[in-house]
Amino acid sequence: MDVVIEVLTKNHCREIFDCGDSNLNKYLHRYAMQDINRRINKVFVAVDSAGSKTICAYYGLCAGTVDVVDLPILIRQKLPKYPLPVVLLSRLAVDQKHQGKGLGAVMLADALCRVTRASEVIAVYAVIVDATDSQAAGVYKQFGFLPLPSNPLKLFIPLDTIRKLVE
């Protein structure tokens, strides 16, 4: 199936999305549109390119910071001591009907490309994700994310690494 990835609007069918994780489902059903309207989160959805408004997958992006002391020691030696600007990949979920077919990888690549473009106008040191469990963390590690020493379920990937992957 070919998909397009676009910003969530009130015209998308949010209610029937089911990724198997009730918190991630509830976020899309109830809170994602509110967060977009309040400029707290930007939520992107994958829909069938044939024009359907049924959501196959989604992720969210918002601005944040990371404390330098939370980064691995070899990396933080080269950085200033104050909090660094990052983008938080706040959620990533694929509807159960579409899982295991590469859509999660497509969504992650799309998110990293968007952040790379944003980094041309605003400084971003890294992308950070909160994995729901160690299995989800494994998915991110496959893409080059590294766990923070202070919390293995919080992972980061420096923009320098993303730019090399994108090029």
Ligand X SMILES: CC(C)(COP(=O)(O)OP(=O)(O)OC[C@H]1O[C@@H](n2cnc3c(N)ncnc32)[C@H](O)[C@@H]1OP(=O)(O)O)[C@@H](O)C(=O)NCCC(=O)NCCS
Least separation in angstroms between residue 109's CB and ligand X is: 10
Give the residue at shortest CB distance from ligand X: 104
Nearer of residues 19 and 84 to ligand X, judged by Cβ: 19
Least separation in angstroms between residue 157's CB and ligand X is: 14
Check: CB of residue 110 under 8 Å from CB of residue 104: no
Check: CB of residue 141 under 8 Å from CB of residue 105: no
Nearer of residues 101 and 164 to ligand X, judged by Cβ: 101
Nearer of residues 42 and 154 to ligand X, judged by Cβ: 154
Cα pseudo-dihedral 62, 63, 69, 73, rounded to 10: 80
Q: Tell me how crowded residue 45 is: count the other CB atoms within 10 A of its CB.
A: 25
Least separation in angstroms between residue 13's CB and ligand X is: 17
Least separation in angstroms between residue 61's CB and ligand X is: 14
**Footprint on this chain of ligand X (rule: CB under 6 A):** 19-21, 24, 92-94, 99-105, 131-132, 135-136, 138-139, 142
Nearer of residues 20 and 79 to ligand X, judged by Cβ: 20
